[in-house]
Structures are given as C-alpha cells and as structure tokens.
Amino acid sequence: MAEDADAPATQLLRRWRDGDDAAQDELIRLFYPRLERKAASLLAYENQISLAPGDLVHESIMRIINSEQLDWQDRAHFLALSSRLMRRVLIDHVRAKNADKRRHRRVTLMTGLHNGQRMDLQALHHALLRLSAIDRENADIVEMRFFGGMSITDVAAVTGLSEPTVKRRWAAARVWLADALAQDDV
C-alpha cells in the first residue's frame, strides 16, 4: 500500500529527472507542506536564527533544483536529499552569521538528542562530522531522521537496511551524539 502512495512522487521524480519542468513544479507542490512542517519544527524554539521555515525550505529546494545529481529513485531518496540540504543550509546560515563582524550569539536547536535541552547547531554539526568519520551510515541516519524528519521506513528504503537495524542504529547514534555533545560542554 505504501508503494501505491509513493507512485505519484516516483513518477514525478522520473519525469523531472528526464527534464520535465512541469513535473518539477508538481513535485515541489507535493513535498512543500511536509518540508515546511519539518523546517518549522527545526526552528520552533529558535529566536536567535533569522531564517523562517519558508526560507529554509526555499533555499533547500533551490539547492535541489541546481543540483546536477538527479539520481533519486523514489520519495524516500528525495526526502533524504532534502534532509541533507536543510542541514547544510542551517550550517551555512550559522557560519555566515559567525563571519559577520557584529558576532551574533550562538545558534541552538531543540533536539531529542540531548534530553530536550538546547544545543549549539555547530556543536551538533561537528559531532556529526566525527560520527561520520567513525560510522557514515549512522551519521546519515541521524541526518535523515533529525534534519529531514524521515520515518524509520523511509530511512530503511534509502539505506537498504531493515527497519529493526535502522532503529538500533538510530538509538546508538543518539547515545553516541549525546555523549559527544556532553564531552564538548565540559
């Protein structure tokens, strides 16, 4: 049944990959509400960051459109790419603010990784880079789940892992990140 629900998105992705601009517009309309909800949840508790959810989604979509690599196979792959790009947009935004001569305050996000406490986005980014060096698959799972709000099922489809394996890796990655972030706070 999930495959039937994914069929329109998969067809639109194929048409877009084949150069159909109308399919691109339809696909963006199809995914925009979901991406905007995820962006809003990422930014919900942030008064230090000047991006609105729509800005985050628009910048991510522009990066997708400008990407030369249209190699996604289905809805889950599209959402995985969107997750990665939302993370990059947030990191680029933080870096640009830090480069500003006025030196803005640190940007923090509310996450489920750190007991509901606010966490510095750059610290999370650096911890994910370290995790990626140790275990790229676990870092990808965190990126898809946290930044993209992807379900376990979608992550399993993208990674080719079973759902129980994704659940275990997600749990292990959260523990590893919480420990890494706690060590950074010391």
* Top-ranked range on mean pLDDT: pick from 2-16, 54-68, 115-129, 144-158: 144-158
Task: Tell me the average pLDDT of the chain.
Answer: 80
Q: Tell me the residue length of the chain.
A: 186
Going along the chain, which residue ranges are E strands? 108-110, 118-120
Enter the tokens of residue 117.
Answer: 């406490």
- pLDDT of 19-42, one tens digit each? 888 988 898 898 899 999 888 888
The pLDDT score that the predictor gives to residue 70 is 62
pLDDT at residue 71 above 90?
Answer: no
**Tens digits of residue pLDDT in 75-94:** 888 888 888 888 888 888 87
| Residue 100, H or E segment | none
Phi, psi of 86 (to 5 degrees): -65, -40
Domain boundaries, the chain: 2-185
Q: How confident is the model at residue 110 (pLDDT cuts 50, 70, 90)?
A: very low
Residue 141: the pLDDT is 94
DSSP 146: I
Q: Terminus-to-terminus CA distance in the chain, angstroms? A: 49
Query: What's residue 4's pLDDT?
Result: 56
pLDDT tens for each residue of 111-137: 444 444 556 777 888 899 999 999 999
Q: What is the average per-residue pLDDT within 172-177?
A: 92
